[in-house]
Structure 1
Amino acid sequence: MEDIRELLAKMEKTREKKLVEHKKHLASEEYQSALRLLNVVTTDFIKGMKACSMYCSRGAEFRDNSLSLSHIDDYFMSAIMIMIMLTEGGINPAKREIRYLIDSSMRYLFVDQQLWRGSIKEKLMYFDKKVDKSNIKYINDIDLHMIKSSALKSAFRSEYKTTYYKACEYVHASTKQIEERFSLYEQGITIGLDRAEQLQEVAELLSEVYSSLLVFTFHAAGVSTIGDLMVDTLSPQDGWVYNGNQYISEIDRHFDYKHERKELIVQLEETRTNRAWPNKALQRTSR
């Protein structure tokens, strides 16, 4: 028994030492920078979604019969919970929630576009009976009509698939997940003792996921609503990080024909260039 007590006492001292070291790491500029990045990626996503929700309230019947738009509050909840999990060291559970977001949002838009004027009841029935929940093939059928460039549409679909598979590695047991965990154990990093580079990685993944959700939700809301949203509210906000995303920027560019932009096009294009994603936009806000 004495040997066991000594072993437990030694383990506790080792654990306490790691906790002291980790507190120092949490206060480091490297970790705080990753935390700021996570914060801006999350808060600006919520800002964009809230603004979209407000503009969609002008067509309440259409909004309430849209799978995509009726799940905006669900996206808020997930974004907040992901933030909490990540700041508490729960990186893998957060990635599983991320996978839910990237998966469900695409399918909701697919159903909305298949039954554009259908009721929520009809869409739910279609979702239940007609949509294959184990396949993301529907990304190829999504109508990205506010992204005019064929090359950008192709790039978006390709990036979506890459992001989806990154998130999937943490839903079910995978070789990558197991190898990562063994590697961390060897470094003395256990649950709750995650490092800045891990937080940075997942914050960058979130930026990709949230930009995809915004693209899907904007297409679900329709051209008229998003035209007003971008021109009047989101595009003028130089600090809104997602303006720097190439797909959101292209959606914004879709509305350059509007009268109020005729004398601002040159200046607006220069602004878009300076909002390049993610090197300038995200790094600028993470400092």
Structure 2
Amino acid sequence: MLRNTEISELRPEMIEVVRRAQHLVHSYLAGLAFIAKDTARDPAFTSNHLLSYLSQDILQSAMAVMTLTTEGVLNVVRRELRFLIEASIKICYVQQRSYSSTIEEKLQLYDKVFQSQRISIKNNLDLPLLSEGIREEFYEEVGRLYGATSKYVHLSPDQIVESIALAQAGITSGMEGPSEVEKLNLLAERVLAASLVLLFHSVPSWVAGDWLVDRNGSTIDWHFVQSKFIADLDQQFDYKHERQDRLAEIQAHRAVGIRF
């Protein structure tokens, strides 16, 4: 029976980048769990929100990203990332257009959306939690991420060329260097941030505020507030009473913390 590789069993140069991958996933899952739990305060959550069931599929893909990165199965990680961005787009789109309908009704009404591999529906999403000036950039980011991860879902020339280059360099699965894993981490970081933005837009707006704004008004200490899109989303809650006495400090801290 196969078992998962422990961090302590990795080559020394791989430990830091794999720990980073694990941190990304744990941070993502913390946000996902809160979104589902906070939205579930609505008694109708289990009957009308796709996340009431699909959060488990999203969790599995996120866990696969962490486990497969540890094992060095990097192309499969890219396929899981593609699922995460696609699922987040579809959940957001369907919930925005038919929030109160039952899940059974959603499956009938949006059957073609669920079955399609095209994500042009992203351009029809409502993104009120993002500033108007950054929305177009987010649409473009989602398109780039979907394109980058889609190259690995089906056999493609790009994938073949990459496989040849790795083979010629003597690199096989599980023997990648830290640079290959860190490159994947940078992609995963952006995909997970985009997924969170989309999921926050699939639920009532107060869910994002409940998560991002700490009791003392500060922005929560969370990896993804380093995303310019999450940071922009956070500023939408600067109106909150608990932020007013320290608003300039909170805004300055948020601005210097943006990293990707």
Q: TM exceeds 0.5?
A: yes
Q: Please name the residue that 1:184 is paired with.
A: 166
Distance 1:236 1:141 in 2: 29
C-alpha displacement of 1:27: 0.8
Match of 1:72 among 44, 55, 62: 55
CA contact (8 A) 1:68 1:112 kept: no
| Residue among 81, 85, 91 paired with 1:98 | 81
Find the aligned partners of 1:146 and 1:69 in 2 and give their Cα distance: 22
8 Å CA contact 1:96, 1:168 repeated in 2: yes
Residue 57 of structure 1, CA deviation: 2.3
Give the Cα separation in 1 of the matches to 2:99 and 2:178.
44
1:89–1:194 CA contact under 8 A, matched in 2: yes
Please state which structure has a larger fraction of its residues in helix.
1
Q: What is the SS of the residue equivalent to 2:110?
A: helix
| Cα distance in 2 between the residues matched to 1:153 and 1:103 | 18
Match in the other structure for 1:26? 11
Runs (5+) with no aligned partner, structure 1 = 1-22, 279-287
Structure with larger RCO (C-alpha < 8 A, sep 6+): 1
How many correspondences in the alignment?
A: 252
**Residues 243, 275 of structure 1: 8 Å contact kept:** yes
- How far 1:236 sits from its partner (Å)? 3.5
Return the match for 1:49 from 9, 25, 32: 32
Identity between Structure 1 and Structure 2 (%): 28
- In the alignment, the residues of structure 2 paired with residue 107 and residue 32 of structure 1 have an alpha-carbon distance, to the nearest angstrom, of 35
CA distance in 2: counterparts of 1:160 and 1:153, whole angstroms = 11
Q: Which runs of 5+ in 2 are unaligned?
A: 1-7
Higher CA-based Rg = 1
The residue aligned with 1:258 is 240
- Residue 171 (structure 1) aligns with: 153
State the shift of 1:34 in Å.
1.6
1:49–1:232 distance in 2 versus 1, CA, 3 Å: same
Measured in 2, the distance between the counterparts of 1:100 and 1:134 equals: 10
Instruction: Give the one of 1, 10, 18 matched to 1:35.
Output: 18
Whether the 8 Å contact between 2:91 and 2:199 is mirrored in structure 1 is: no
The one-letter amino acid of 1:74's match is D
2:201 maps to what in 1?
219
Pair 1:82 & 2:65 matched: yes
Question: In 2, are the aligned partners of 1:99 and 1:168 still within 8 Å (CA)?
Answer: yes
1:65-111 C-alpha deviation (Å, 9 max, x unpaired): 11245422221111111211111111111111111111121012111
Q: Does the 8 A contact of 2:212 with 2:220 survive in 1?
A: no
Cα RMSD (Å) = 2.1
